């Protein structure tokens, strides 16, 4: 949750969007990426990381989703501009 709390402190406009994503993720029992996309349409997988587009594609929530253990490890939540620089993927 530290990733989400830090992002909400830095970007006050994220509070509602993060709360929505968190509620969906807590209830989800995803088995693969296509199931993720059924509940959170704008989601991609890049080099083993699941990228959730948050708040109208203004932000990217980068996570590792383990479908077998049903765990999500949040790596970072960045603006679209930060994401586009590619530093998150190093």
pLDDT classification of 1: cutoffs 50, 70, 90: low
Total domain count, the chain: 1
- CA distances 85 to 59, 60, 80, Å, are 13, 12, 9
Query: Is 85 inside any structural domain?
Result: no
For 45-70, what is each residue's pLDDT tens digit? 999 999 999 998 899 999 999 999 99
Query: Is 13 inside any structural domain?
Result: yes
- In terms of residue numbers, what domain contains 35? 2-80
Query: Is 24 inside any structural domain?
Result: yes
Query: Is 86 inside any structural domain?
Result: no
| pLDDT recorded at residue 22 | 92
């Amino acid at each position: 949750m530290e990733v989400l709390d830090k992002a909400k402190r830095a970007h006050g406009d994220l509070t509602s969007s993060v709360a929505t994503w968190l509620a969906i993720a807590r209830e989800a029992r995803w088995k693969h990426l296509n199931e993720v996309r059924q509940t959170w349409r704008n989601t991609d997988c890049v080099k083993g990381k699941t990228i959730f587009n948050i708040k109208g594609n203004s932000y990217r929530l980068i996570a590792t989703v383990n479908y077998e253990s049903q765990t999500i490890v949040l790596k970072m939540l960045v603006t679209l501009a930060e994401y586009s620089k590619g530093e998150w993927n190093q």
